Amino acid sequence: MSAGRVNIAGVEVSTDHYIDGCRVASKERFLDRSPIDGAALAEISAGAAAEADQAVAAARKAFPAWAALGPEGRAPILRRLAEGIKERVADLSAVETVDNGSLLSGNQHRVVPRAALNISYFAEHALTLRGHTIDSPEVVNHVHYDPAGVAVLITPWNAPLMLTTWKVGPALAAGNTIVIKPPEWAPLTCSLLADIAEKAGVPAGVLNVVQGIGEDAGAALVEHGDIDRISFTGSTGTAKLIGTAAARSITPMSSELGGKSPFIVCADADLKAAAQTVAGQYINAGQVCLAGTRILVEEKIEAEFLGLVREAVSHMVVGDPRDAATRVGPLIHPEHFERVQGFVERARSDGAEALWGGARHNQGDLFFQPTLFAGAKIDQEIFQSEVFGPVLTWNTFKNDDEVIAVANATKYGLAGTLFTSDEARAMRIASQVVAGTIWVNCFFVRELAAPFGGSRASGIGREGGTWSFDFYSDIKNVAVRKGSFKH
Ligand code: NAD
């Protein structure tokens, strides 16, 4: 293995930063391993203050020309970027799976095609923001979406390409230039994204990638004095650090953070569909921010529903994420494995009972059994804290008021899932559960035009549709007195 370029699953990937249209290497490097078998994949350039300075300067220099292109000038380039991602679905999927252990079939059929859409959707949406006016008695208010400047985009390892493009699309479409800081446990697809951007004709300096450890490269970027936006997806703890840096320079920050989302099953629901969806919460070993990890079941159907869930979970194949039949792959890293195991051990010692799972899976070092804890009290850690692994809790409720109170009894508010066949009941519960998204009789449907984000400790701000442009733009009102121009 050498620095420069490595071959991952038959795909050539650069191990270096991408700054001002060039590959830039650092002397310091960090080792990236595959969670599937622990194989060493690449020694990646580890950036810090010098690389952050270089990348922000490049983005600053490229900003005026990119901003001046306007949405019409940027759209063809961004369409080519989206096409470039589509052309490399197989490559991006294979590399993402080896790098972070996510399901290959999911990457091929949903995640990577969606990453392309993340770019093309916002390129088209930017075209619709022109000509927005608000009439008032004395003036016409012309709303301008001016590009904000240099945006720093920081993402986690569980879905690096998907989550990065979800920021890259609106940030570039709105006319900003960007510096991406990929996650150090899965840095490779963001590197490929830079190659694709270059081929698509994204001008030098418009899209930069600084690889590195969060506390070094990430911190240097968010503490940099010359940035205009920080968009962060990751843990609530890291958001507090980044938020502190953002506050010092009054840099607007959007954050999409952790969750401990309720999954509510009413007695009148389609129980088979609900049980299948509960089993689906183990996909990608539960390393999904939006997962409904607290299963709340109406008491009178508990026994029947538990049987259906047990049956559905028995079909969840744990194994190599490259196999089409696999549903549950590995945890990302030995440190994360220990963290998950720690939660499980403490749940047991707090008195919760593992109805299934609760230990390492025989597939390999980083594989953990799908696990369900019953009997956890609301104030216990396993009910309150995000595990980010294949670990769910199971509790019952007697009535809607009780389930709403229990659903809202954590510090989080990212998402919620509700199964019921009673529309009025669905709307009543959905309106009272605190969350950025509530899915009713479905799960993980994410419409790009709809708002997305978290409440409470799950985040600040909303993205998606126009909400993304509200964040990535400096919105200006030009109020023109009616009849004040000579004609
Ligand atoms: P993390 O917070 O440890 O790291 C996220 C990113 O922040 C990484 O790129 C890391 O290098 C960087 N970082 C770390 N310290 C930093 C610092 N001091 N300054 C700047 N950057 C720094 O999170 P993680 O463990 O990679 O990801 C898991 C978390 O992400 C979970 O809590 C999960 O719920 C959350 N997540 C949220 C969403 C969402 O949309 N709400 C989506 C996916 C994951």
The atom of ligand 1 lying closest to the CA of 213 is 11
Distance CA 93, CA 347 (A): 35
Q: Is the CB of 286 under 6 A from ligand 1?
A: no
R_g (Cα) of the chain, nearest Å: 23
Under 8 Å between Cβ of 454 and 300: no
Render 467-482 in DSSP notation, one character per residue.
HHHHHHEEEEEEEEET
H/E stretch holding 305 reads helix 302-314
The per-residue pLDDT for 2 is 46
Q: Ligand 1: which of 289, 411, 448, 463 to mutate, judged by most atoms within 8 Å of the beta carbon?
A: 289
Under 8 Å between Cβ of 447 and 468: no
pTM confidence score = 0.97
What are residue 366's phi and psi, to 5 degrees? -105, 15
Beta pairing, strands 22-24 & 17-19: antiparallel
Distance CA 447, CA 122 (A): 12
Distance CA 39, CA 44 (A): 14
Ligand 1: residue whose CA is nearest its atom 15:
214
Per the listing, tokens 């493009």 go with 165
The per-residue pLDDT for 215 is 98
Ligand 1: residue whose CA is nearest its atom 37:
257
Helix H, strand E, coil C: the string for 89-138 is: HHHHHHHHHHHHCCCHHHHHHHHHHHHHHHHHHHHHHHHCCCCEEEECCC
C-alpha distance from residue 186 to each of 110, 303, 343, 401, 473 (Å): 19, 41, 23, 42, 29
Distance CA 363, CA 343 (A): 21
CA nearest to 278, candidates 264, 266, 288: 264
Q: Is the CB of 219 under 6 A from ligand 1?
A: yes
Under 8 Å between Cβ of 224 and 195: no
CA nearest to 44, candidates 155, 253, 188: 188
Q: Is the CB of 172 under 6 A from ligand 1?
A: no
Span from the CA of 92 to the centroid of ligand 1 (angstroms):
21
Ligand 1: residue whose CA is nearest its atom 11:
214
Helix, strand, coil tally for the chain in percent (to 5): 40, 25, 35
Q: Which residues in the chain show pLDDT less than 70?
A: 1-3
Q: Is the CB of 175 under 6 A from ligand 1?
A: no
Domains in the chain (CATH in brackets) are 5-257+458-477 (3.40.605.10), 262-440 (3.40.309.10)
What are residue 327's phi and psi, to 5 degrees? -115, -25
Ligand 1: residue whose CA is nearest its atom 40:
256
Q: Which residues are catalytic?
A: 256, 289
Distance CA 446, CA 281 (A): 16
Span from the CA of 217 to the centroid of ligand 1 (angstroms):
13
The per-residue pLDDT for 3 is 56
pLDDT digits (tens, 9 = 90+) for 401-440: 999 999 999 999 999 999 999 999 999 999 999 999 999 9
